[in-house]
Amino acid sequence: MAAVRTSSEVALNRAAIVAVLVATLIFLAPIYWIASTAFKPKELAVSVPPTVLFQPEVTPFIRLFTKRVQMQKPVDPQVYEAAPWWEKRIYDGGERVLKVGKDVQLSQYPNRFMNSLIVAVISTVLAVGMGTFTAYGFSRFKVAGEADLLFFILSTRMLPPVVVAIPMFLMYRMVGLNDSHIGLIILYVAFNLSFSVWLMKGFMDEIPKEYEEAALVDGYTRMQAFFKIVLPEAATGIAATAVFCFITAWNEYAFALIMTNRRAQTAPPFIPSQIGSGLPDWTTIAAGTFLFLLPVAIFTFLLRNHLLRGVTFGAIRK
C-alpha cells in the first residue's frame, strides 16, 4: 500500500463517502417520516405539501395510550381547568378520556406491546438456545446423515411460512393454541430454529475444538467445557443470531394477524387495526409505530459490536 495517496484515490474515497451518505439518507427517510409524524399535530400529518418544520407535541402518544370518545358538545371550562395537562391535550382535540371512576382507561396498546415483548423475547431465547446446542452437536460430533439432516432443517424455510397458515390455524384451533402466547412462541421458534442452527453451526465450526480438548484434559466434563469455554467463545455468534431471531419474531405480521385477536395479539397486527376505527389518525399510528421500533433499535444498538463482528465472522483468516 502506498503511503501517499494519489489524487484519483482521494477522489474515489470522496465519492464513496458521498455514496454512503446518500444511501444512509435513503434508508433513514422512512424512519424520519414515522418519527416526525409521531410528534406532529393531527392536522399537519396529512398536509400537502408535507410539513417539515412544526412545533413537536406528545399528544399522539397520549392518544395512543388512552381510551377516548368523541365529545358531542364543548367541554365545561371548569372541568377543562381542573384537568391535568395531558388530559387538556385530549379535550383540545374534541375528545375526552374514558374513565372508570377516577381511573383513566388505558388503550390496548400497552397490552399488545407487552404481548410482542413476551412472545419475541421468549421465542428468541428458545430458538437461539436450542439452535446453539444443536449446532454444537452437528459441529463437534459425528452425526449419521449430518448433511441430510442439516438440509432437512433448512428445508423448513423453503416456502413462505404463510403458505401453511390456514392448516396451522385449523390445527391450532383444534388444540386450543390459537390466541395464546405459547402458540405464537412455538410458531416463532419453529421459524427461527433452522436459521439459528445454520448460523450457529458456522460460528461453532470457527471455534477451535482444541479449546474444549484443553478443558477436557484440564479436568472438566464436556458439559462444563461447553458452558465455560464454548459459550463465552460463541457469544458473538449468539448475539448476532439473537438479533436476527428477535427482529423476525418482533416484526412477524401474518401469523400474528391470523392466530391472535385479543389475549395474545401482538403489536404488528394491532397498530394498523387502529386505522379502521373512525378517521385514520395517522399521528397516533405513527406514535405506536415509533415506540414499536425502539426495542429492536435498542437491542441492536446494545449488541452492535457483536453484530458487526458477527456478520464478518470467518471472513478474515487469522
Nearer to other proteins, 95 or 233 (CB): 233
Nearer to other proteins, 215 or 307 (CB): 215
Instruction: State the minimum distance, in angstroms, from the CB of residue 235 to other proteins.
Output: 8
- Neighbour tally for 182: CB within 10 Å: 11
CA distance linking residue 191 with residue 153, whole number of Å: 10
The interface region with other proteins, picked from 20-28, 46-54, 227-235, 273-281 by CB under 8 A, is: 227-235
Q: How many residues touch other proteins (CB under 8 A)?
A: 17
| Cβ proximity of 196 and 245 under 8 Å | yes
- Take residue 130 and report the three cell numbers written for it: 436450542
CA distance linking residue 92 with residue 260, whole number of Å: 35
| Cβ proximity of 198 and 175 under 8 Å | no
The interface region with other proteins, picked from 25-33, 163-171, 219-227, 264-272 by CB under 8 A, is: 219-227
The reply to whether 221 sits near other proteins by the rule CB under 8 A is yes
The reply to whether 145 sits near other proteins by the rule CB under 8 A is no
* Type of residue numbered 14: R
Instruction: State the minimum distance, in angstroms, from the CB of residue 231 to other proteins.
Output: 10
CA distance linking residue 180 with residue 282, whole number of Å: 29
**Residues 6 or more apart whose Cβ sits within 8 Å of residue 8:** none
Instruction: State the minimum distance, in angstroms, from the CB of residue 306 to other proteins.
Output: 13
The reply to whether 229 sits near other proteins by the rule CB under 8 A is yes
Nearer to other proteins, 207 or 242 (CB): 207
The reply to whether 147 sits near other proteins by the rule CB under 8 A is no
Closest CA to 155 of 198, 95, 187, 210: 198
Q: Kindly write out the interface string for residues 235-264 of this chain, putting x where it contacts other proteins by CB under 8 A and - elsewhere.
A: x-----------------------------
List the beta strands (DSSP E) in 89-156. 95-97, 99-100, 103-104
Nearer to other proteins, 216 or 247 (CB): 216
Q: Kindly write out the interface string for residues 196-215 of this chain, putting x where it contacts other proteins by CB under 8 A and - elsewhere.
A: ------------x-xx-xxx
First to last CA, the chain: 20
Residues that bind other proteins (CB under 8 A): 208, 210-211, 213-221, 224, 229, 232-233, 235
